[in-house]
């Protein structure tokens, strides 16, 4: 994907973004919610958040669509061990350089089954995702295929890498490894 | 460099170093005086805050969020409570929105002045450093008058604020605006006119705009590279919906943009004036009304227990975009999961770009130029009990030893 690394000054309406995604990916990507975010003394709608759910194999395609609209600012990845699967949320922003009130937050949820905890790395497209990918790898045990640096980022040097601190199953920390603060 | 084959050497800066305010390790690969590459290794003060939040309810997590960072503690609260309000669909009274905005801007004034002072200290301009610390006292005094604390103000809560702006505090705020407009000019001169400052900061640690975009730089770091980005502008929240804020970029003031340490200095200094204007406008327009959506804590907790959803908030903290994401599950009193992304976490990824080709002597200045807040960036986790028994002292042991020493000194 070659997009010039700059933020567009032409914002699109959130509904237009939704239809651009629908047009290309149809029902594969589920639009969970388009939130109006209000503030101020008139309770005016100031910006929008778009929550999407995407199957793993369509994720890069979805990211390419976002790249056609603007260079997406990658905020962070959040995640959780949901039992059968691990949930990964990618948080992006579109149109944050396009004018007052034009930003559209785009959160993409991907569920990864426990027997295949792998995602394609997006560092070739967005190098700024490096720390998040490394963090999710060490905390939740997700393998990002093609990431250049797989070393630990926040955990200590002598950490037992089999222990994934944010997992809630047998891969997570044992009760005796957690010190309760008094 | 020695005659013969080119050989590079590795020099560590940190985890503890005079040029650093907080512990982080950077391995510099140098060829003579020139930095060829750098490898950053954070993790020295990862405290497991997100993990700890799983066993606490959202009201308790406010106080955890506040302790992520000392300087931008309100920014973290603000982002956290906004995420909770998003998840539980709580709307905030108007007066509270304005008080939050004033707090955020006070914190920005505090953070930028402190940073500007420390930046001068880094290259040996100690009189400017002392001036910075002197100026900073005023905003801390006003914060103390308002909240009772000089750091960790305890002002924010879910659905509002806990402290009002009384007429006395309003008068102190007006006094603060006058004071800084008068006294901060000396700093402005340092930023724009002093030749030594310019010589040390110009063309040092440059981050080109396209790299700032690719590496997701945020806040003053991104603006100093000429990107017109500011969440107060692109996605107004709280009183910024009424008070227009435009991003401050060097090209609007100096005619050109370099994306170097000097531009980062300039952007921050100018933002202090911008913050003063915002505080003035917010004070003028301060609406009357309640401070909290739900003042009764048990009722609020019941409401939060019934809420189900994910909330996301990104706000413009002094150092840039501070993102919090939170999940509340219906019937569960505690926070299900929580993710914090402090601005340093985003800005530190571009360090290698800033460092390449620079001199070792500039390294601390470049490190400080993004205003790194390491304890912000590192939050999460568990402490291993095995090492705890032999190497890490527990609180009880420390207390015991401290008391023993006191007894020793008292001759008992």
- Chain B hits for A75, CB-CB cut-off 8 Å, are 216, 314, 321, 323, 341, 346
**Cross-chain residue pair A39–B238, CB shorter than 8 Å:** yes
Q: Is A179 part of any domain?
A: no
Tokens 């890069």: give the residue: A60
Task: Confirm whether A34 is domain-assigned.
Answer: yes
Identify the pLDDT of residue B388: 37
Asked if residue B70 is part of any domain, the answer here is yes
- From A150's Cα to the closest Cα of chain B, the distance in A is 12
Q: Give the closest-approach CA distance of B309 to chain A in angstroms.
A: 11
The string of pLDDT tens digits covering residues B73-86 is 899 999 999 999 99
Least confident range of A66-80, B13-27, B337-351: B13-27
Q: What is the pLDDT of residues B367-385, one digit of tens each?
A: 888 777 776 666 533 333 3
- Of A44, A46, A128, which is closest to B215 when you measure between CB atoms? A128
Q: Do A47 and B235 touch (CB under 8 A)?
A: yes
Q: How many domains in chain A?
A: 1
- Give the model confidence (pLDDT) of A78-108 as tens digits: 999 999 999 999 999 999 999 999 999 999 9
Inter-residue contact B300 to B158 (CB < 8 Å) = yes
From the CA of A143, how many Å to the nearest CA of chain B? 19
CATH of the domain at B69: 1.10.645.10
pLDDT in tens, B130-142: 999 999 999 999 9
Q: What is the pLDDT of residue B407?
A: 64
B321 to A75: CB separation less than 8 angstroms, yes or no? yes
Q: Quick one: three-class SS letters along chain B?
A: CCCCCCCCEEEEECCCCCCCCCCCEEEEEEECCEEEEEEEECCCCCCEHHHHHCCCCHHHHHHHHHCCCCCCHHHHHHHHHHHHHHHHCCCCCHHHHHHHHHHHHHHHHHHHHHHHHHHHHHCCCHHHHHHHHHHHHHHHHHHHHHHCCCCCCCCEECCEECCCCCHHHHHHHHHHHHHHHHHCHHHHHHHHCCHHHHHHHCCCCCCCHHHHHHCCCCHHHHHHCCCCCCHHHHCCCHHHHCCCCCCCCHHHHHCCCCCCHHHHHHHHHHHHHHHHHHHHHHHHCCCCCCCECCCCHHHHHHHHHHCCEEEEEEEEECCEEEEEEEEECCCCCCEEEEEEECHHHHHHHHHHHHHCCCEHHHHHHHHHHCCCCHHHHCCECCCCHHHHHHCCCCHHHHHHHHHHHHHHHCCC
Domain range for B98: 49-347
Distance between CA A96 and CA A101 in Å, rounded? 8
Q: What is the CATH number of the domain that holds A87?
A: 3.30.460.80
Question: Would residue A175 count as lying in a domain?
Answer: no
Are B380 and A165 within 8 A, CB to CB?
Answer: yes
Least CA distance to A176: which residue of chain B? Answer: B385
Task: Measure B135 CA to nearest chain A CA, in Å.
Answer: 32
**Cβ-based contacts of A2 with chain B (< 8 Å):** none
For residues B45 and B27, give the distance between their C-alpha atoms in angstroms, rounded to a whole number: 18
The predicted pLDDT at position B402 comes to: 55
Residue from A2, A86, A97, A159 to probe the interface with B (highest B Cβ count within 10 Å): A97
Q: Which has the closest alpha carbon to B207: A94, A72, A151, A128?
A: A128
* B217–chain A Cβ distance below 8 A for any pair: yes
Best B78, B160, B213 member to test A by mutation, with max A CBs in 10 Å, is B213
Model pLDDT, residue B121: 84
Q: Tell whether B356 is covered by a domain.
A: no
> In 10 A of CB B95, how many CB atoms?
21
ipTM: 0.94
The answer, yes or no, to whether residue A131 has pLDDT greater than 50, is: yes
Instruction: Please tell me the distance in Å from B197's CA to the nearest CA on chain A.
Output: 30
**Residue A61 belongs to some domain of the structure:** yes
In the numeric block, the tokens 């706000």 are attached to: B315
Which of A46, A74, A173 has the CB atom closest to B235's CB atom?
A46
What is the CB neighbour count within 10 angstroms for residue B83?
28
Pair A93, A73: CB distance under 8 Å:
yes
Chain A positions touching B216 (Cβ under 8 A) are 73-75, 126, 128-129
Task: Record the tokens describing residue B108, joined without a space.
Answer: 């920005």
B241 touches A: beta carbon within 8 Å: yes
Judge: A7–B227 Cβ closer than 8 Å, yes or no: yes
Q: Which residues of B touch A39 (CB under 8 A)?
A: 97, 236-241
Q: A39 CA to chain B: closest CA distance, Å? A: 5
Q: What does the pLDDT read at residue B381? A: 36
Please give the order of strands across the beta sheet that includes B25-31: B9-13, B25-31, B34-41
B321: β partners = B316
Residue B292 lies in a domain: yes
Instruction: Give domain status of residue A157, yes or no.
Output: yes
Number of domains in chain B: 1
Residue B93, domain member (yes or no): yes
The reported pLDDT for the residue numbered B215 is 94
Q: What's the pLDDT at B194?
A: 84
The pLDDT-based confidence of B268 (bands split at 50, 70, 90) is: very high
| A27 is a domain residue | yes
- B170-224 tens-digit pLDDT: 999 999 999 999 999 888 887 778 888 888 889 999 999 999 999 999 999 999 9
Write out the residue range of the structural domain in which residue A131 sits.
14-169
Partners of A154 on chain B (C-beta within 8 Å) are: 42-43, 46, 378, 380-381
Contact A7, B229 (CB under 8 A): yes
Taking contacts as CB-CB distances below 8 angstroms, the residues of chain A near B395 are: 181-182
Quick check: is A1 in a domain?
no
Q: State how far the Cα of B343 lies from the Cα of B345, in Å rounded to an integer.
A: 5
Which residue, among A53, A131, A176, would best test binding to B if mutated, counting the most B CBs under 10 Å from its CB?
A131
- pLDDT at A65 exceeding the cut of 60: yes
Decide if A7 is inside a domain. no
Q: Do A105 and B235 touch (CB under 8 A)?
A: yes
Give the per-residue pLDDT at B369: 80
Distance to chain A for B173, nearest Cα, Å: 21
CB contact under 8 A, B235 and A101: yes
Record: contact A40-B46, CB cut-off 8 A: no
Chain A: nearest CA to B293, how far in angstroms?
14
Residue B390 lies in a domain: no
Q: What pLDDT, on the 0 to 100 scale, is given for residue B23?
A: 84
Instruction: Tell me whether residue B17 is in a domain.
Output: no
- Best mutation target among A93, A104, A109 (most B Cβ atoms within 10 Å) is A93
């Amino acid at each position: 994907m070659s997009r010039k690394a700059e933020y567009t000054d032409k914002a699109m309406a959130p509904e237009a973004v939704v239809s651009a995604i629908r047009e290309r990916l149809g029902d594969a990507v589920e639009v969970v919610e388009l939130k109006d975010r209000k503030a101020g003394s008139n309770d005016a709608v100031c910006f929008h958040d778009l929550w999407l759910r995407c199957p793993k194999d369509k994720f890069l395609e979805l990211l390419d669509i976002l790249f056609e609209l603007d260079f997406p600012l990658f905020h962070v990845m959040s995640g959780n061990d949901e039992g059968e699967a691990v949930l990964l949320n990618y948080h992006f922003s579109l149109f944050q350089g396009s004018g007052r009130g034009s930003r559209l937050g785009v959160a993409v949820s991907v569920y990864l089954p426990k027997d295949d905890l792998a995602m394609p790395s997006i560092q070739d497209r967005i190098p700024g995702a490096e720390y998040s990918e490394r963090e999710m790898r060490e905390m939740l045990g997700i393998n990002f295929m093609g990431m250049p640096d797989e070393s630990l980022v926040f955990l200590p040097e002598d950490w037992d890498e089999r222990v994934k601190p944010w997992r809630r199953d047998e891969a997570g920390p044992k009760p005796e490894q957690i010190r309760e603060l008094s | 460099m020695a005659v013969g084959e080119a050989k590079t050497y590795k020099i560590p800066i940190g985890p503890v170093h005079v040029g650093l305010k907080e512990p982080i390790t950077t391995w510099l690969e140098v060829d003579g005086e020139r930095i060829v590459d750098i490898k950053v290794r954070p993790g020295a003060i990862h405290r497991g805050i997100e993990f700890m939040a799983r066993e606490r309810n959202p009201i308790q997590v406010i106080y955890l969020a506040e302790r992520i960072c000392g300087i931008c503690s309100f920014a973290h609260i603000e982002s956290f409570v906004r995420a909770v309000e998003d998840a539980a669909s709580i709307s905030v009274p108007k007066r509270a929105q304005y008080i939050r905005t004033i707090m955020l801007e006070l914190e920005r004034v505090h953070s930028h002045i402190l940073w500007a002072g420390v930046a001068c200290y880094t290259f040996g301009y100690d009189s400017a450093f002392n001036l910075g610390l002197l100026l900073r006292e005023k905003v801390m005094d006003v914060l103390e008058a308002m909240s009772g604390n000089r750091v960790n103000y305890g002002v924010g809560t879910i659905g509002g604020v806990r402290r009002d702006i009384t007429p006395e505090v309003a008068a102190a705020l007006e006094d603060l605006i006058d004071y800084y407009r008068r006294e901060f000019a000396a700093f402005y001169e340092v930023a724009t006119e002093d030749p030594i400052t310019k010589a040390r900061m110009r063309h040092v640690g440059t981050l080109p705009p396209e790299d700032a975009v690719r590496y997701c730089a945020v806040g003053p770091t991104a603006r100093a590279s000429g990107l017109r980005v500011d969440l107060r502008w692109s996605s107004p929240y709280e009183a910024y919906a009424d008070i227009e804020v435009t991003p401050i970029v060097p090209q609007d003031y100096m005619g050109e943009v370099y994306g170097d340490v000097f531009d980062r200095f300039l952007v921050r200094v100018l933002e202090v004036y911008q913050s003063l204007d915002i505080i003035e406008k917010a004070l003028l327009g301060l609406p009357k009304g309640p401070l909290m959506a739900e003042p009764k804590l048990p009722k609020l907790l019941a409401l939060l227990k019934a809420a189900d959803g994910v909330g996301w908030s990104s706000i413009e903290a002094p150092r840039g975009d501070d993102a919090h994401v939170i999940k509340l599950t219906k019937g569960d009193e505690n926070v299900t999961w929580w993710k914090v992304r402090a601005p340093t976490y985003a800005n530190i990824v571009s360090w290698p770009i800033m460092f390449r080709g620079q001199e070792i002597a500039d390294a601390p200045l470049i490190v400080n130029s993004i205003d790194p807040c390491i304890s912000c960036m590192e939050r999460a986790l568990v402490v291993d009990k095995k090492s705890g028994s032999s190497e890490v002292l527990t609180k009880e042991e420390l207390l015991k030893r401290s008391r023993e020493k006191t007894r020793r000194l008292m001759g008992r």
